């Protein structure tokens, strides 16, 4: 019983002593003599440079946002799903897009509008017209690009300029405008972190030659523009790498050069013109090459050339017999493709990338092994 009492008593003494010190300090400050020669009339605060004074970098951001944001679309999709009891459940999705011409064409991601029964668009110009109803003109699922259109009626649209994304450099400043988590017309900035990335976004969708950026990209940014410091579109923001699903400084954009080609096809013909080689291949890797005693360690084993297809017409030969490797049956005896247009190939993706950059009627130079002989053959691409 004595210990707590002693503690309380000591605490009171300490408290009273501390109060006396404070009173003494206050008394000395306010009641004692003062040397007025050191008293200033007002605090010496740092002066503001005034409203409207911004750095050169800030002025670039402000001007780009002012010009570009009216053309950035908030895309709202509506569909109906069914619960366990087959009750209709309305589902709303959201993403971004951007106007590319005065006719109301808007580029976005395929995954933004996939399965939508109704598509609505709210433009970033904050016009009193409210939401536009959009129609889907077409899409390229493999490249995750879609084209929708609104009827602007008497509204003068301000389309964005599409840049040449083949001339980009790592370190360039970039700006992203979109609608993350529904917050319309949000601007984020960063740099190009890397170029030429390959990103698989689903079982059937790849972003080839993706632009990697550290500009914050979140859910809802998909389909929005990635801009250079001239306010021109260099890519379509499409994916992020993040375990949490939010911005982690690693975002990816589809190069606008590819998206522009897709949009051109869809506007003109309502479909995408795909280059077609007409060949079935199997990746050749070192262990398989050793098993087959192949003349190359990497490449593409031609399994079959489509009859009367571009590859067959060029003279490419498929396998003429089968062997079993593990649980897989492999056609052997055919050609082995080791390079396309001088670029080494190691898998199906390398072939797809080459075709993605070509148009029907273009010519591919295939470097192949036929037996132990190495030769080049030229194939004129068809259309799928």
Mean pLDDT across the stretch 16-42? 42
> Could you say which architecture CATH assigns to the domain 165-269?
Beta Barrel (2.40)
pLDDT over 70 (residue 296): yes
User: Choosing from 222, 265, 350, 354, which is the catalytic residue?
Assistant: 222
What is the token pair recorded at 223? 């389909």
Name the nearest CA neighbour of 270 among 112, 147, 96: 147
| 222 labelled catalytic | yes
Mean pLDDT across the stretch 205-227? 92
What ranges do the domains of the chain cover? 66-149, 165-269, 275-383
- pLDDT tens for residues 37-77? 454 555 666 666 666 688 999 999 999 999 999 999 999 99
> Could you say which architecture CATH assigns to the domain 275-383?
Roll (2.30)
Name the nearest CA neighbour of 32 among 40, 20, 24: 24
The reported pLDDT for the residue numbered 244 is 64
User: Choosing from 111, 209, 214, 335, which is the catalytic residue?
Assistant: 111
What is the token pair recorded at 348? 């199906």
Instruction: Please check whether the two domains, 66-149 and 165-269, share a CATH topology.
Output: yes
Mean pLDDT across the stretch 315-340? 91
Contact at 8 Å (CB) between 205 and 143?
A: yes
User: Choosing from 140, 144, 214, 335, which is the catalytic residue?
Assistant: 144
Record: fold of 66-149: Thrombin, subunit H (2.40.10)
Contact at 8 Å (CB) between 304 and 319?
A: yes
């Amino acid at each position: 019983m004595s210990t707590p009492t002693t503690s309380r008593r000591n605490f009171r003494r300490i408290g009273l002593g501390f109060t006396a010190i404070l009173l003494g300090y206050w008394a000395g400050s306010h009641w004692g003599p003062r040397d007025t020669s050191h008293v200033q009339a007002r605090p010496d605060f740092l002066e503001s440079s005034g409203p409207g004074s911004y750095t050169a970098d800030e002025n670039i951001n402000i001007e780009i946002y002012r010009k570009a944001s009216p053309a950035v679309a908030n895309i709202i999709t509506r569909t109906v799903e069914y619960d366990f009891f087959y009750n209709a459940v309305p589902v709303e999705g959201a993403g971004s897009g951007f106007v590319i011409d005065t006719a109301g064409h808007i580029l976005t991601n395929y995954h933004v509008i996939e399965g939508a029964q109704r598509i609505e668009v709210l433009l970033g110009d904050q016009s009193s017209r409210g939401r536009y109803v959009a129609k889907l003109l077409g899409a390229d699922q493999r490249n995750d690009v879609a084209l929708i259109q609104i009827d602007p009626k008497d509204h003068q649209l301000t389309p964005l300029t599409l840049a040449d994304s083949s001339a980009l450099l790592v370190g360039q400043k970039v700006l992203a405008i979109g609608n993350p988590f529904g917050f319309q017309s949000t601007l984020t900035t960063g740099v190009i972190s890397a170029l030429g990335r390959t990103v698989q976004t689903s079982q059937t969708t790849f972003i080839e030659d993706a632009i990697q950026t550290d500009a914050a990209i979140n859910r809802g940014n998909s389909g929005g523009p990635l801009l250079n410091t001239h306010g021109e579109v260099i890519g379509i923001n499409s994916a992020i790498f993040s375990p949490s699903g939010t911005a982690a400084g690693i975002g990816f954009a589809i190069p606008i050069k590819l998206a522009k080609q897709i949009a051109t096809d869809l506007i003109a013909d309502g479909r995408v013109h795909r280059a077609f080689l007409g060949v079935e291949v199997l990746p050749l890797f070192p262990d398989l090459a050793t098993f087959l005693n192949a003349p190359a360690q990497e490449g593409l084993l031609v399994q079959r050339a489509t009859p009367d297809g571009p590859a067959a017409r060029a003279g490419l030969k498929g396998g003429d017999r089968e062997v079993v490797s593990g649980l897989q049956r492999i056609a052997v005896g055919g050609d082995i493709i080791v390079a396309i247009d001088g670029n080494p190939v190691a898998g199906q993706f390398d072939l797809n990338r080459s075709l993605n950059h070509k148009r029907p009627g273009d010519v591919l130079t295939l470097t192949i092994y036929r037996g132990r002989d190495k030769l080049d053959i030229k194939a004129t691409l068809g259309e799928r």
